[in-house]
Amino acid sequence: MPGSKLIKRYPHEPDSVKNMLLISLWLGATLIALSLMSSILMLPAPYNKYAGALVVILLVLPLPQGPLTTNPLHKMGYRLGDSIMEAASRYFGLSVYADDLDVLKKASSVHCKPGKGGIIIPLTPHDVLPYPIFAFSPALNIFGGTGFGREGFLQGLMTGILFKIPYLRHLYSYVMAGDVGKKNFLRILDEGGTAVFIPGGVQEVICMNDELKANPDSKKIFLYLNKRKGFVKLAILKGSAIVPCFVFGIDGSFTYKVMPGPPKLIEGIAKTLGFLPMLYFGRWGIPLGIAKPNKITVCLGLPILAEKSDEPSDEQIKAVHKQFCDATLKVFEENKQACGYGDREVVIV
């Protein structure tokens, strides 16, 4: 990797039964949740009542408050979550590179303390499901010694609706995921933690879908960033470091079919739900199944240090946002050849 240093590489073990079973609990979680809820209608009495009772329990059972919990049930859940993340690293043959690990360590030594702003890692691209966020799991300890991934201080952030769905809400909590809402985002930064999120969100998936409908052989990778300045404002308010990140290998993990209907209606539903209404197909063509075992490479650029300001101006926000976009493109361009993306083009919209 030109200009990049290998931090960690896992063996690629896509056919391990253990790995497949464990990540099925995670990437197959939507199918599990839907099966559980539909069983209320499909199972004969009295089994449908048992299924209904289980759904209610999963909806009212309090979410865990962190891996240091003393609750034995939640302790088991976190151990399971760690095992899932470890299995994912091998199923996808994860590799992680950084432009300069020493610079990341220095940034984390300054910012990964309460009141020092924390670190924001905007992970790109989104694609169908942004599952490579698992690379930042504390269970993997890839960034050991950097301050990233301290237990209870790193979360992969996603749409809050997922934490209202039985099974999903606990499963994602056990793998150290959290609500991407502003309140939780600020809590992480205030505690000197690391917030990993996907800025492009559902709009990026819509751009990808529109492009592939018009040109199925398109080599373009869309990053929906031009209107994503909220996290930059938070970084300036808190004095956070922003670490640009690009993931290679995620595209082609799933095939998908978007729900038919007027484009404006579909887009409106997507914005409301936080995800595009689609049926996706994973390995072996299984609906809502696990991803194909593409080798995943995560590349990190140099941290952008936002100057703290209690009242950031529009000019300051635009300047830091431009730095971030330019740095993300730089990460892509410097690593695309080595990752087999030589014919690909990133388009920021």
User: Which has the higher per-residue pLDDT, 139 or 261?
Assistant: 139
| One-letter amino acid of 188 | I
Alpha carbon distance 133, 123 (integer Å) = 7
What pLDDT, on the 0 to 100 scale, is given for residue 151? 45
Position 203 pLDDT exceeds 90: no
230-238 vs 182-190: helix crossing angle, rounded to 10? 30
12 to each of 83, 86, 96, 138, 271, how far by Cα in Å?
A: 16, 12, 13, 20, 36
Q: Decide if 97 contacts 297 (C-beta within 8 A).
A: yes
Residues near 84 by Cβ (< 8 Å), separated by ≥ 6? 22, 23, 25, 26, 174, 175
What pLDDT, on the 0 to 100 scale, is given for residue 48? 94
- Tell me what the mean pLDDT of segment 2-30 comes to: 93
Share of the chain above pLDDT 90, in %: 72
**Domain extent listing, the chain:** 5-348
- Tell me what the mean pLDDT of segment 215-223 comes to: 93
Alpha carbon distance 303, 101 (integer Å) = 10
Position 202 pLDDT exceeds 60: yes
What pLDDT, on the 0 to 100 scale, is given for residue 175? 93
Using 50, 70 and 90 to split pLDDT, how confident is the model at 152? very low
**Average pLDDT of the chain?**
91
Strand pairing partners for 297? 95, 248
What pLDDT, on the 0 to 100 scale, is given for residue 147? 54
Position 251 pLDDT exceeds 80: yes
Position 145 pLDDT exceeds 70: no
- Taking only the tens place, the pLDDT of each residue in 158-196 is 988 899 999 999 999 999 999 999 999 999 999 998 999
- Taking only the tens place, the pLDDT of each residue in 310-345 is 999 999 999 999 999 999 999 999 999 999 999 999
- Tell me what the mean pLDDT of segment 88-99 comes to: 97
What pLDDT, on the 0 to 100 scale, is given for residue 110? 87
Q: Which helix (H) or strand (E) holds 172?
A: helix 168-174
Out of 96-105, 253-262, 283-292, the most confident range is: 283-292
Q: Sign of torsion, CA 105 107 109 113?
A: negative
- Taking only the tens place, the pLDDT of each residue in 289-302 is 999 999 999 999 99
What pLDDT, on the 0 to 100 scale, is given for residue 81? 96
